[in-house]
């Protein structure tokens, strides 16, 4: 079965885009704002909170970065108008980080002002290592103006434990994930179990320091191990949440967590750049690609 899934992944980039979208649709919450907001509403009704991400990164012109910033800014008013339980999660390279520090800082402050206006939250995603220090610096600048802002730390990075030590407080809001970028072994763990160990250490350290932690993982081993530790140490449910990517088939586990009084937030990507994102997600999870395609062909054959 693994071989079949691997072969499917190899041919997907050569298939018509409409087919790729059909296969990858569980991961994407829509192309337009309206499509995405309808999906957010559905998720809220199921008991999930949501983090919204417009797909894209590394814009090359100030015009595009400004347009993306304006689109994000308008989402805060739409979220408020529709009374949705959702916040925003952005990549700084999507709003101009490659175009200069002052330029991206200006765009970030526009979003901070909008988040503050609507009493909402903004998360700065963490990208690959050349951007780490500057992202943390920009987070600190944003925090000075509006403390309801958060950041991401990646468990595969050696530096993350020190970054956490320097940033953690009862006001600190952090999403902890494993990390997806390919990094040099001098600065990042490559061993799967090492990354898991560091992930657990990061979450525990942040919670001990009173920080609010987004436990962002699809690894049920990590979820179960950390949840047991949380219960054993009587960590209050308002100090953490579990986070999951839209489309990952974990409904039973997530519903169990919700039923036991935990917050579960779905990370919802959407937008015009769905194709490249879809190819990447399907390559990361070939089992899902095979499962979806199998269901599609079953439906065709059973008509």
Neighbours of 63 (CB within 10 A): 9
201 is catalytic: no
Alpha carbon of 159 to those of 126, 136, 193, 202, 285: distances in Å?
A: 13, 12, 17, 11, 27
DSSP 87-139: EEEE-GGGGTGGG-HHHHHHHHHHHHHHHHHTT--EEE---SGGGHHHHHHHH
CA 208 to chain centre: 23
Neighbours of 219 (CB within 10 A): 14
**Catalytic choice (123, 125, 163, 281):** 125
Neighbours of 70 (CB within 10 A): 15
Give CA–CA dist 188/143, Å, rounded. Answer: 27
Phi, psi dihedral angles at 124 (to 5 degrees):
-95, 115
Closest CA to 127 of 103, 91, 156, 169: 91
175 is catalytic: yes
Angle at 255 (CA atoms; ends 251, 258), nearest 5 degrees: 145
Q: Tokens in use for 19?
A: 């087919």
Which residue in the block uniquely carries the two structure tokens 């809001």?
173
Closest CA to 88 of 274, 276, 271, 282: 271
Closest CA to 152 of 134, 171, 179, 170: 179
**Catalytic choice (53, 123, 163, 175):** 175
Catalytic residues, which ones? 125, 175
């Amino acid at each position: 079965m693994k071989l079949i899934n691997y072969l499917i992944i190899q041919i997907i980039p050569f298939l018509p885009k409409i087919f790729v979208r059909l296969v990858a649709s569980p991961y994407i919450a829509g192309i337009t704002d309206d499509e995405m907001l309808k999906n957010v509403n559905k998720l809220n009704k199921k008991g999930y909170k949501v983090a919204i991400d417009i797909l894209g990164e590394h814009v090359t012109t100030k015009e595009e970065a400004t347009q993306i910033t304006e689109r994000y800014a308008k989402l805060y008013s739409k979220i408020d108008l529709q009374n949705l339980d959702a916040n925003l999660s952005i990549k700084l390279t999507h709003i101009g980080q490659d175009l200069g520090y002052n330029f991206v800082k200006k765009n970030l402050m526009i979003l901070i002002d909008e988040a503050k206006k609507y009493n909402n939250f903004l998360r700065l995603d963490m990208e690959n290592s050349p951007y780490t220090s500057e992202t943390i610096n920009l987070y600190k600048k944003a925090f000075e103006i509006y403390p309801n802002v958060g950041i991401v730390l990646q468990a595969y990075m050696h530096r993350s434990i020190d970054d956490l030590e320097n940033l953690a407080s009862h006001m600190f809001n952090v999403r902890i994930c494993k990390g997806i970028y390919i990094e040099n072994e001098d600065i990042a763990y490559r061993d799967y179990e090492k990354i898991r160990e560091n992930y657990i250490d990061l979450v525990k350290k942040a919670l001990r320091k009173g920080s609010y932690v987004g436990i962002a993982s699809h690894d049920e081993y990590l979820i179960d191990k950390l949840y047991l530790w949380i219960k054993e140490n009587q960590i209050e449910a308002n100090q953490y949440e579990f986070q999951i990517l839209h489309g990952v088939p974990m409904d039973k586990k997530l519903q169990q967590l919700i039923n036991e009084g935990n917050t579960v937030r779905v990370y919802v990507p959407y937008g015009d750049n769905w194709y490249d994102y879809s190819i990447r997600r399907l390559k990361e999870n070939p089992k899902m690609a095979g499962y979806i395609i199998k269901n599609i062909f079953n439906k065709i054959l059973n008509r």
